[in-house]
Amino acid sequence: MTTPMRVLGLSFIATLAACGSAPGSSAPDTVAAEGKRAAPALERMRAATVSGKIGAPVEVRYLVTSAVTKDQPANVELAFVPTMAGTNLQVEFPATEGVTLEKGSEPMRVQKSAAAEVHRRQLFVTASVESGATMRAVVSIDVPEGRFFSVFVIPLDDSATAPRAKKAPGEARTD
């Protein structure tokens, strides 16, 4: 026999559970929770390069949405996509010479993350150099095999990623 109060209490608990965030989501760091901006599609974003050997099973993608000009703030959209499920995903943005992190540079922490789950962050940065500015993201995650980390390099303009021109056979390098 169920009482009306018991039914009401169970309904209330079920409603609260349904309203909670999805497992592994990080409300302050996800675009859906912010509701302020449309996130760029991952296909539009470039892959950041790993500095050193690959460690963390996380893909880092970025999109600089405004021109990076010396002493002018620029918007950088970042996406962190684990390639396998893990816990304690952490992203930090260490100080980098020639770049000042203005807004959004506080560490990002996600308790639980599924494979291919996208975690986003928007940063505002100011370069103090004319060209070649880069920033770094230190990403770590716990997976069943252990804790892994990587340092990713994020170029803020095309001059930082421009490939060297190939020389013709027998031609001396001029750079």
pLDDT given for residue 119 in this prediction: 97
Q: Cβ distance 153 to 134 under 8 Å?
A: yes
* Verdict on whether the full-model pTM lies above 0.85: no
**Whole-number mean pLDDT of the chain?**
77
Q: Cβ distance 119 to 108 under 8 Å?
A: yes
More confident residue, 107 or 31: 107
CATH T-level fold of 21-160: Immunoglobulin-like (2.60.40)
Q: Cβ distance 131 to 159 under 8 Å?
A: yes
pLDDT given for residue 5 in this prediction: 41
More confident residue, 155 or 1: 155
pLDDT given for residue 4 in this prediction: 43
Nearest to 79 by CA among 100, 66, 64, 61: 61
Tell how strand 108-113 and strand 119-127 pair up: unpaired
- Partners of residue 140 on adjacent β-strands: 90, 149
pLDDT bracket for residue 31 (50, 70, 90): very low
Residue 140 pLDDT > 80, yes or no? yes
The CA distance from 63 to 51, in Å, is: 19
pLDDT bracket for residue 36 (50, 70, 90): low
pLDDT bracket for residue 165 (50, 70, 90): very low
pLDDT bracket for residue 66 (50, 70, 90): confident
Nearest to 154 by CA among 136, 138, 140: 136
Average pLDDT over residues 79-96: 97
Residue 22 pLDDT > 70, yes or no? no
pLDDT given for residue 159 in this prediction: 60
pLDDT given for residue 38 in this prediction: 84
Domains in the chain: boundaries: 21-160
For 89-126, write each residue's pLDDT tens digit: 999 999 999 999 989 999 999 999 999 999 999 999 99
